[in-house]
Structure 1
């Protein structure tokens, strides 16, 4: 049986020639290969990684890997003007690789996490999520390989090169609990009319009426408890708005907090509340882009408790067989969060995602992008 460490390194070598993004459904979406493969290995299915990588590579063409053009230095006047410039992706990757080699991966992570956290929605949260998967693989061994450290530089590099800095860092200064804040959240008057409109709202969410008020709803809470509230509540939000087609953008309201939890042990405590605030900003934005009301959300837990859902072993096996990267990552995140604090919404959401998200051998690309336009 292939070990986790061997499966991860084999996958990274097989995916090494792919760029940061792929062309899918008429848009440029994040490269999910390293994240999906690492998740398969975590689930104990390292033997399935080579075949999965082959399916993933065949599903959509990827851009060329970024190339460094102009050296970036660690001084703020050098790197800050380059934030959000995808043309500088290779320069950022080279900067992070150089810093990791000189200072160690954890020092670099602690240095750059608060700088990039102001843009949690970068790549529909995949800057943060790819970084977190890289951290999990590195932290699992006393001797990370060069390609594992390169993967961390690429996660950070993508986050920096696609950085979205609007509307600035969130804050936890409200008075509501997470479930209360989600229930009170103002939604959009109508969903985006096109993928392009969805992307515009993602880049400038503060243009949506009520956005800043929503950011002020949530009060401070112990970080681990708050992350559990976030993932459980948004598992229910995903299901409440599935309506025959599982809303993939909302999935990241679960996977982003679950991914951030993987990183917290390697961050100083004074970065934890800012992390939670950025995740709330992410959930507000995703909910306002994707939903027009809160219908079905309050009842989601009770409905999940009475639903006939397969056991987790079967859900994991079905996710591996399904092969869609979102299904795999979502199922693993839900299982991990359920293990920490059981909630029936996790298994129900994973089950419905597996049923309603198209397999990668189907015509899934345009439908996935179009989900930005569905409530």
Structure 2
């Protein structure tokens, strides 16, 4: 478990951010709550507000509500981004009436098929919110953050269907190598996602919760390692091949074990789809990070400042080995620094 945030910086940051919406310009995700949580998780509380000051001009006001989401009509509002304020309010009301783990267990299987919405940032933000609650306990800002994350996920709910399953591999890394690229490598995330039609099978036979958790950790390790050699395909978007399954992995301790295997299968589909959409035609040779510590890598990511770099570094530190650190440094090299 990560150190308890006795300074209250995380709650202060979340309170500061909850006046902002989950997106800007109608399509770009607000990463600030996720970065704040990641920095606190790794003991960098002192850097949180300084980073938020750098990011602040990317925030937009919280959107206006349309109509309340209710238990009776929620299905009609699922996947409607105009209803994001309504969804956040719905989850806020729900969390005031029931335990957050119970709410998560109810909504996780409803939302899991649509984790592609918001370029997978919906499930990633949820994973950060869940880790904050697991590591630091309940508080009003942390519960509100979960409401914002789940509301964003519900509003941007976007399933992937029509997949033809190809022969795969036993090893996660080999299965990623077997992913065929989409035929057209242009356009944004929704355009490319619509072209994903063939993916290899991996771990589809897994039903045991313990095995599912092990395989999910294997997937996070493989996708993080792969960034070191394939991240140049698209420096920002390929981050999500690792951070989306890691968000799922972080959420497992708060979920009933019966949901772990379905979570593995959804995480694989997401990682494989992102790989199909953005992987380069050829890898590069991995560059060992040399004599560098995890703390040094985190400092380089923080100095660089890009939100995706920090979040990939957060996942790389979870993996914790040399190639994962090399992946984080590769993200620093490939990405544009936060101005």
Scaled by the length of structure 1, the TM-score of the pair is 0.81
CA distance in 1, matches of 2:109, 2:164: 12
After TM superposition, the structure 1 stretch with the greater mean CA deviation from structure 2, 270-279 or 160-169, is 160-169
After TM superposition, the structure 1 stretch with the greater mean CA deviation from structure 2, 261-270 or 161-170, is 161-170
CA, structure 1 residues 267+168, in 2 after alignment: closer, same or farther (shift >3 Å)? farther
Structure 1 contact 231–337 (Cα < 8 Å) conserved: yes
Gaps spanning 5+ residues in structure 2: where?
none
Aligned equivalent of 1:223: 212
User: Is 1:74 paired with 2:82?
Assistant: no
1:320 to 302, 322, 327: 302
CA distance in 2, matches of 1:141, 1:308: 34
SS in 1 for 2:114: coil
CA, structure 1 residues 85+359, in 2 after alignment: closer, same or farther (shift >3 Å)? same
SS in 2 for 1:232: helix
CA distance in 1, matches of 2:180, 2:115: 20
Per-residue CA shift, 1:185-219, capped at 9, x if unaligned? Answer: 21123411x33xx43123x2xx44xx34x153544
Root-mean-square deviation (CA, aligned residues, Å) is 2.6
CA distance in 2, matches of 1:272, 1:173: 23
CA distance in 1, matches of 2:190, 2:131: 29
CA, structure 1 residues 172+43, in 2 after alignment: closer, same or farther (shift >3 Å)? farther
SS in 1 for 2:28: strand
Structure 1 contact 116–160 (Cα < 8 Å) conserved: yes
CA distance in 1, matches of 2:280, 2:38: 32
After TM superposition, the structure 1 stretch with the greater mean CA deviation from structure 2, 245-254 or 85-94, is 245-254
Aligned residue pair count: 333
Gaps spanning 5+ residues in structure 1: where?
362-375
Output aligned runs, 1:4-153, within 5 Å. 6-23=8-25, 28-58=27-57, 60=58, 62-75=59-72, 78-142=73-137, 144-153=138-147
SS in 2 for 1:140: helix
Scaled by the length of structure 2, the TM-score of the pair is 0.89
CA distance in 2, matches of 1:354, 1:285: 24
Aligned equivalent of 1:238: 227
